[in-house]
Amino acid sequence: MLPADIIPLTLDQLARRGASGAPALAGRFGTLDYAALDALTSHVAGGLLARGLQPGDRVATWLAKTRLACVMPLATARAGLIHVPINPLLKHAQAAHIIADSGARLLIAGEGRAATLAPGDLPDDAALLLEAEADDVLPGCETPLPPSDGDPQRLAAILYTSGSTGRPKGVMLSHANLWLGALSVASYLKLSPADRTLCVLPLSFDYGQNQLLSTWAAGGCAIPLDYLTPRDVIRAVDSHDATTLAGVPPLWIQLVEADWPPDIAGKLKRLTNSGGALGTSLVRRLRDRFPAADLYPMYGLTEAFRSTYLDPGLVDSHPESMGRAIPLAEILVVRPDGLEAGDGEAGELVHAGPLVARGYWNDSERTAERFRPAPSWSRAGGMAVWSGDTVMRDADGLHYFVGRDDEMIKSSGNRISPAEIEEAAAASGAVAESMALGMPDARLGHAIHVVARAAKKLKVEAAEVRLRAWLKAELPGFMQPHVIHWRDALPRNANGKLDRAGIRAELMS
């Protein structure tokens, strides 16, 4: 376990955590050992400052998982700059908002993405650097920078949320936030220099970026992958001997439905999940598909990075639990009256401690809503993140997700968790994945709508009969769906999570 008083360093020091000749980064561009990663970090950092950038300036990147994209979090940190990664799946309008809102002085982008920008999308004092040019210019700088010795409490990155409930907002993260988060995850995942992490999630959000950072904190090797199909992931696990894979529930559904040769599935020793609950059904399918792998269900929010994880030894007996606080985090369950919730009592999850972000960039109003002083009985004290998520803690100290206040279905006077309906639907065997929503209804307040994709080899008609029969047997009458909408695919946002806002807007139209 990590000591509570661990001293954070600047983020670029992660390039020096591994042995000099040990592999640090591998991909289509070849393999860099830790000495090469550190040297590349220094050269790119020097190249950024040689372009006239000043400490504190924002540098936005709109890139696929290239060598440059992977090193930018470290290089900007070494140069005293603030990194603003943009998800490569975002479209022009979303990217333009992030560039303008962050006040980026430099945008590094691939030629195709850069071509979608319109005149005026870049701030007047900002420059555009195409990735091909950057790969030639930045690593070749003749004035590489030494490791940073700046204040680890200064800003290192602004990570923009997916914007599913409005325009993306930028979460301000310090070097200390990212450094301590990387060490915390490396600690509880038991990562080692022998581990090889296949990085399939976007590097533009906290869980995705931490694929790199926690691996480097442990001295292991990160393998970035832009994939098109589950088969691409299977081939990469095989060719790179990957031991660790992070995902979100929609990705895990795709992967468990794919055909994994047992010897390739057996290479994975560690699976991690965040971005939504797995549920009992998917947990069992993952355990069957990857019997040699430890499974780590986790809960996180960008404003505090990661809050809880479930020990793999408890997954089979408590498959629906979020687990306990990760190292360095304090997790509180707070009643509406501000008092601590008792065991079995629902309350708002509040996260305190050194992983709490610095607020939202250029948005004091929303910062004041979400970042508020911790309750008086908090051990960590200081500013805390009030998540808006309702959870419950049991007598063993394990936490369970109940729902988000803005997602709870209120029907006929009942507060209903969408997750409970979705888990029951998954257990029916009739659906591959589903989403439950409450739609306005003059009589009920909310009518329950379920959007679902039928299980493999089931026609929609048969799937509907099976699903309705199962839900009727397993759930009370007030939780029965009013309408079931069948889809060939469920919409996802840029981070791969199910797009509740998008499907709600579609159903409302």
Residue 164: the pLDDT is 35
Which of 125, 150, 175 terminates a domain? The answer is: 150
User: How much helix, strand and coil, in percent to the nearest 5, is found in the chain?
Assistant: 35, 25, 40
Q: Is 415 inside a domain boundary?
A: yes
Q: Where are the alpha helices (DSSP H) in 150-266?
A: 175-188, 206-217, 230-240, 249-257, 262-265
Q: Is residue 466 packed enough to be buried (19+ CB in 10 Å), middle (13-18) or exposed (0-12)?
A: middle
Question: Which contiguous run of DSSP H or E holds residue 46?
Answer: helix 34-50
- Could you tell me the CATH number of the domain that includes residue 109? 3.40.50.980
Which of 110, 132, 150 terminates a domain? The answer is: 150
93 touches 117 (CB < 8 A): no
Gap between the Cα atoms of 275 and 498, Å rounded: 9
Q: Is 284 inside a domain boundary?
A: no
Print pLDDT tens along the chain (509 aa): 788 789 999 999 999 999 999 999 999 999 999 999 999 999 999 999 999 999 999 999 999 999 999 999 999 999 999 999 998 887 787 788 899 999 999 999 999 999 999 888 888 888 999 998 888 778 877 788 999 989 999 999 999 975 434 467 899 999 999 999 999 999 999 999 999 999 999 999 899 999 999 999 999 999 999 999 999 999 999 999 999 999 988 789 899 999 999 999 999 999 999 877 788 889 999 999 999 999 999 998 889 989 999 999 999 999 999 999 999 999 999 999 999 999 999 999 999 999 999 999 999 998 999 999 999 999 999 999 999 999 999 999 999 988 776 677 877 666 677 887 998 899 999 999 999 998 988 777 789 999 999 998 899 999 999 999 999 988 878 789 999 999 999 988 877 888 888 888 888 88
Does this model's pTM top 0.95? Answer: no
Q: Is 504 inside a domain boundary?
A: yes
Q: Is 243 inside a domain boundary?
A: no
Read off the pLDDT of residues 347-363 as tens digits, 9 standing for 90 and up: 999 999 999 999 999 99
Gap between the Cα atoms of 405 and 390, Å rounded: 7
Q: Is 313 inside a domain boundary?
A: no
Eight-state DSSP code of residue 187: H
**308, 317, 422, 494 alpha-carbon torsion, rounded to 10°:** 40
Segments forming the whole domain that contains residue 467: 407-508
Q: Is 50 inside a domain boundary?
A: yes
Q: Is 451 inside a domain boundary?
A: yes
Beta strand spans in 283-395 (E): 294-299, 308-309, 321-325, 330-334, 346-352, 371-373, 383-393
Number of domains in the chain: 2
Gap between the Cα atoms of 232 and 234, Å rounded: 5
Question: What is the three-state SS of 95-125?
Answer: HHHHHHHHCCCEEEECHHHHCCCCCCCCCCC
The structure tokens 């290479």 sit at: 267
Which of 126, 150, 174 terminates a domain? The answer is: 150
Question: Which contiguous run of DSSP H or E holds residue 68?
Answer: helix 67-79
Q: Is 427 inside a domain boundary?
A: yes
- Could you tell me the CATH number of the domain that includes residue 461? 3.30.300.30
